[in-house]
Amino acid sequence: MLWADYGGGYSTTSYGAQGGAGGGGFMGGSQGGSQGAAGKGTYGKDTLRPVTIKQVLDAQQPHPDAEFKIDDVEITQVSFVGQIRNISTQTTNITYKLDDGTGTIEVKQWIDADATMDTASDPTTSKPKLVENEWARVWGRLKAFNNKRHVGAHVIRPIADKMEITYHLLEATYVHLYFIKGPLDQIKVEGGGAAGEIGYGGGGDTGTSGAKFPNVSAAAKKVFQTLKDSPQNNEGLHVQNVAALVSMNVADVRKAGDELLSHSLIFTTVDDDTWAPLEF
């Protein structure tokens, strides 16, 4: 079984299996890929990495024949979740437009004529149906054609348990922080906090609990503090509730939320307007 270990007791199993975060992991072609001091570098020639759609859209490609890079690390295959906004069926493929709250992207799945005939002759082999406005998980490869990116799907399936969405976003955030900050056991305790508090690093003003924040606005810090301190369930708080708690208008709260999302300090849960904080 192939697996990847990112330190701190966190590991995931092979392609499509349930991993350490409980939601369908990612794999490295070898356990000990080349890594730099901050955890950068490829961790296997063939990889499957959990990502957000924004990370896919922002991925770097040095030249048209090169592999894409996220956090300066080559990626070959990606896994992400999204709400299906549109389904377009063609003769040779089905195109799904997915939105995870960080961005939208088209996912193309080629139609296997033989498999279609088998399904027609034996209905018991039919796959779960994908419908608009429901959530789905995708495994596939990032591609670019005519300067437009899409994902060629190996597998796309509906999500039955909505907690899988939260698990995936947490997993994607963990791996992103691993590559930009390094393994947990290499991050120094900063800001004079209590033992076990992890500095966010890289300067910036000191935030809550002694952790260091990136340079975000005062409004963003206020929104984050409110999300962290306010009683809430696993779904987090809706933007309207946050606006009422911080005495700000909704537009300003959304702007602050965009800042926090871009720094992976919060994540969306049941919809684009419901947020929960990440602890560091």
Domain ranges of the chain: 4-173, 188-277
Q: What is the pLDDT of residue 212?
A: 55
- The reply to whether domains 4-173 and 188-277 share a CATH topology is no
| Residue 157, phi then psi, degrees to nearest 5 | -140, 155
Helix ranges (DSSP H) in the chain:
53-58, 113-121, 163-181, 218-229, 239-246, 250-262
**Measured distance CA(44)–CA(31) in Å, rounded:** 7
Percentage of the chain exceeding pLDDT 90 = 30
| Residue 1 pLDDT | 31
pTM of the full structure? 0.54
Which residues are within 8 A (CB) of 121 and not within 5 positions of it... i.e. 6 or more apart? none
Reported as a pLDDT band with limits 50, 70 and 90, residue 228 is confident
CA angle 165, 59, 212 (to 5 degrees): 70
Calculate the alpha carbon distances from 92 to 95, 110, 125, 261 in Å: 10, 6, 20, 37
The alpha carbon of residue 203 and the mean position of all alpha carbons in its chain are separated, in whole angstroms, by 25
Closest alpha carbon to 178 in 10, 3, 2, 1: 10
Looking at residue 182, its pLDDT comes to 78
pLDDT in tens, 87-139: 999 989 999 999 998 999 999 998 876 655 554 455 555 567 899 999 999 99
Tokens representing residue 136 in the block: 């789905």
For 65-90, what is the mean pLDDT?
Answer: 92
Beta bridge mates, 144: 149
Mean pLDDT of all residues in 10-30:
39
Helix or strand run (H / E) with residue 150: strand 148-158
More confident residue, 79 or 7: 79
For the domain made up of 188-277, the CATH class stated in words is mainly alpha
Could you report the per-residue pLDDT of 157-216, keeping only the tens digit for each?
999 998 999 999 999 998 998 888 877 666 554 444 443 343 444 344 434 444 455 678
Higher-pLDDT residue of 260, 201: 260
State the Cα–Cα distance between residues 193 and 211, nearest whole angstrom.
7
Pairing verdict, β 73-75 and 93-99: unpaired
CATH of domain 4-173: 2.40.50.140
- Which is nearest to 160 in space by CA: 11, 15, 23, 13? 23
Q: With 0-12 CB in 10 A as exposed, 13-18 as middle and 19+ as buried, what is 69?
A: middle
Region of poorest pLDDT, from 12-16, 68-72, 159-163: 12-16
Q: What is the mean pLDDT of residues 75-92?
A: 93
Beta bridge partners of 141: 152
| Range with top average pLDDT, 40-44, 102-106, 121-125, 217-221 | 102-106
> 44: which 2 tokens?
């296997």
Q: Which pair of structure tokens corresponds to residue 244?
A: 């009422």
Question: Could you give the CA distance from residue 59 to residue 52 in angstroms, rounded to a whole number?
Answer: 11
Rounded to whole angstroms, how far apart are CA atoms 273 and 255? 12
Determine the Cα–Cα distance for residues 104 and 76; give it in Å rounded to an integer: 20
